[in-house]
C-alpha cells in the first residue's frame, strides 16, 4: 500500500499532466477560433453584416487563450508540488514551496492559533460523563464558593 506522500506525489504528477493536456486543447481551440474570425473578416459574408460573428469568434479565441494560460499555471504548480514530494527534493525547495503555497492560501478572519488567557465571558460546559474540570488558581478559602454540588 502506498504512503500518503507517494499518493500525493502521484496525484500531483497526474494533475500536472492533465493541466498540460488541457492547455494544449485550449491553445488549439484558440487558434481555430482565430482562423474562423479571420475567415469571416476576409469573406465579409452576407450573414455577418455587422461583424458580430467575427467578434464572437475573436472573443471565444481570447477566452480559450486565457484558459490555456491558467492551465499552464496550474500545471506548473502541480509540478512544483510533485518535485517537493519526491524523495530527491532539497529541504530549501520544500521550505520555499510551503511558503509560497501558504502565502496563496486563504486564511479565515478572527482565528488565533495561540490563546494566552481564556476570556472571562467564556466558561466550559462539560459533556455528560466527562471528568471534572480542574480550576487551578483558586485559593483554598474560596473553594467552597466555586464548588459544584453533584447529586
**pLDDT tens, 31-68?**
998 888 888 777 776 666 666 778 888 899 999 999 99
- The pLDDT score that the predictor gives to residue 137 is 73
> Which parts of the chain have pLDDT scores under 70?
1-2, 45-51, 87-120, 135-136, 151
Ramachandran bin of 123, using left for φ above 0, alpha for ψ from -120 to 50, beta for the remaining angles: beta
> Residue 25, CB half-sphere, CA atoms under 13 Å: how many?
9
Amino acid at each position: 500500500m502506498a504512503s500518503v506522500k507517494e499518493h500525493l506525489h502521484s496525484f500531483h504528477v497526474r494533475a500536472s499532466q492533465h493541466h498540460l493536456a488541457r492547455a494544449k486543447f485550449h491553445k488549439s481551440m484558440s487558434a481555430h477560433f482565430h482562423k474562423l474570425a479571420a475567415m469571416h473578416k476576409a469573406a465579409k459574408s452576407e450573414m455577418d453584416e455587422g461583424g458580430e460573428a467575427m467578434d464572437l469568434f475573436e472573443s471565444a479565441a481570447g477566452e480559450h487563450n486565457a484558459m490555456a494560460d491558467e492551465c499552464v499555471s496550474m500545471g506548473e504548480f502541480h509540478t512544483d508540488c510533485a518535485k517537493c514530494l519526491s524523495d530527491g527534493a532539497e529541504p530549501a525547495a520544500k521550505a520555499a514551496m510551503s511558503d509560497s503555497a501558504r502565502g496563496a492560501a486563504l486564511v479565515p478572519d478572527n482565528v488565533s492559533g495561540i490563546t494566552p488567557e481564556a476570556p472571562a465571558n467564556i466558561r466550559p460546559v462539560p459533556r455528560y460523563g466527562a471528568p471534572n474540570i480542574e480550576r487551578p488558581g483558586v485559593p483554598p478559602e474560596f473553594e467552597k464558593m466555586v464548588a459544584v454540588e453533584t447529586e
